[in-house]
Structure 1
Amino acid sequence: MKQPRKYSIEGTVASVIFIVLIGVVLIQVFGRTPLFRGPVWTEEAARWLWVWMAFIGIAEVERQDGQLRMAFLADLLPEGSRRVLYTVIDLVYLGIMAHLAWIGYKTVLRTWDNVTVTLPTTDALLYASGFVAALLILHRIVRRLIGRRDVSVTREPSL
Structure 2
Amino acid sequence: MSFSGRYSLEGCVASVLFIVLFAVLMIQIFGRTPLFTGPVWTEEAARWIWVWMALVGIAEVERTNGQLRMGFVADTLPVRWRRTLFLVIDAVYLGIVAHLVWISYKTVLRTWNNEAVSLPATDAVLYASGLVATVLILHRIARRVLSFVRSDTPEEAR
TM-score, structure 2 as length reference: 0.93
Q: Deviations over 1:54-86 (max 9, x none)?
A: 000000000000001011111111111111100
Q: How far did residue 153 of structure 1 move?
A: 5.1
Question: What's 1:136 paired with?
Answer: 136
Residue matched to 2:116: 116
| Matched position secondary structure for 2:140 | helix
Q: Which has the higher contact order (CA 8 A, sep 6+)?
A: 1
Uncovered stretches (5+) of structure 2, i.e. residues with no partner: none
- 1:50-129 equivalence runs, <5 A: 50-129=50-129
For residues 54 and 155 of structure 2, the distance between their equivalents in structure 1, rounded to whole angstroms, comes to 29
Specify the code of the residue in structure 1 equivalent to 2:119.
Answer: L
Deviation at 1:155, TM superposition (A): 4.9
Compare 69-78 and 144-153 and name the one that shifted more.
144-153
Q: Whole-Å Cα distance in 2 between the matches of residues 122 and 21 of structure 1?
A: 19
Runs of 5+ consecutive residues of structure 1 not aligned to the other structure: none
Number of residue equivalences = 153
CA distance in 2, matches of 1:100, 1:154: 30
Residue identity opposite 1:46 in structure 2: A
Contact 1:61 1:67 in 2 (8 A): yes
Structure 1 partner of 2:156: 154
Instruction: Return the alpha-carbon distance in structure 2 between the equivalents of residues 74 and 34 of structure 1.
Output: 59
Superposition CA RMSD, Å: 1.3
Structure 1 counterpart of 2:72, one-letter code:
F
In the TM superposition, what are the counterparts of 1:11-22 in structure 2 within 5 Å?
A: 11-22=11-22
Aligned equivalent of 1:25? 25
**Deviates further, 144-153 or 46-55:** 144-153
